[in-house]
């Protein structure tokens, strides 16, 4: 994978987020906090995990191998603002990123080393997994989740 391909994966990933944010921001605080089940109990908790994970991975990619999950805002709007800041930092970093660079980092089971490209693919895959959970959680709240798919970006 070259740098342009790496950036295109992140552009598609961010495009998907942009399709989801209007629906997430439209939730009432009660809907966002209501426990409906899943890996994380609520839409807010699932979204906080997703944004937090992306923040941790960016920190690792930028040289902080011991990055930990940040405290997350108590509302969706705060998560959206954190995500907006993250995307600016990530895009700036992507322009100079070497997809084949080795990144060593700490995680719950020890340490590991992966390439930048492998980590970027993991970030996108992780978000896909949890977007499926968000869709189920929104349906349990009686809402219609966005219908947006990764391939949709490439069809544009």
Helices (H), 26-74: 29-33, 43-61
Confidence at residue 75, expressed as pLDDT on a 0 to 100 scale: 94
Confidence at residue 95, expressed as pLDDT on a 0 to 100 scale: 84
Confidence at residue 72, expressed as pLDDT on a 0 to 100 scale: 80
Confidence at residue 156, expressed as pLDDT on a 0 to 100 scale: 73
- Mean pLDDT split into 10-residue runs, the chain, 156 residues: 92 97 98 95 97 96 90 90 95 91 94 97 96 97 94 90
Q: What is the pTM of this model?
A: 0.94
Confidence at residue 70, expressed as pLDDT on a 0 to 100 scale: 84
Of 17, 119, 10, the residue nearest 63 (C-alpha): 119
Confidence at residue 69, expressed as pLDDT on a 0 to 100 scale: 87
Options 3.30.70.20, 3.40.140.10, 3.40.1160.10, 1.20.120.450; CATH of 3-155? 1.20.120.450
Confidence at residue 74, expressed as pLDDT on a 0 to 100 scale: 87
Residue 12's CB: how many other CB atoms inside 10 A? 17
Q: Which sign does the torsion angle of CA 130, 58, 15, 9 carry?
A: negative
Confidence at residue 20, expressed as pLDDT on a 0 to 100 scale: 98
């Amino acid at each position: 994978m070259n740098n342009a391909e790496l950036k295109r994966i992140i552009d598609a990933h961010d495009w998907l987020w942009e399709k989801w944010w209007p629906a997430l921001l439209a939730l009432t605080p009660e809907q966002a906090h209501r426990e409906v089940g899943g890996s994380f109990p609520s839409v807010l908790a699932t979204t906080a995990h997703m944004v937090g994970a992306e923040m941790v991975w960016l920190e690792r990619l930028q040289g902080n191998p011991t990055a930990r999950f940040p405290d997350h805002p108590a509302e969706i709007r705060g998560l959206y603002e954190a995500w907006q800041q993250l995307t600016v930092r990530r895009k700036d970093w992507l322009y100079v990123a070497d997809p084949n660079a080795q990144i060593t980092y700490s995680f719950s089971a020890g340490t590991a080393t992966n390439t930048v490209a492998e980590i970027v693919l993991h970030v996108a895959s992780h978000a896909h997994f949890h977007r499926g959970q968000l869709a189920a959680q929104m349906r349990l709240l009686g809402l219609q989740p966005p219908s947006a798919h990764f391939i949709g970006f490439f069809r544009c």
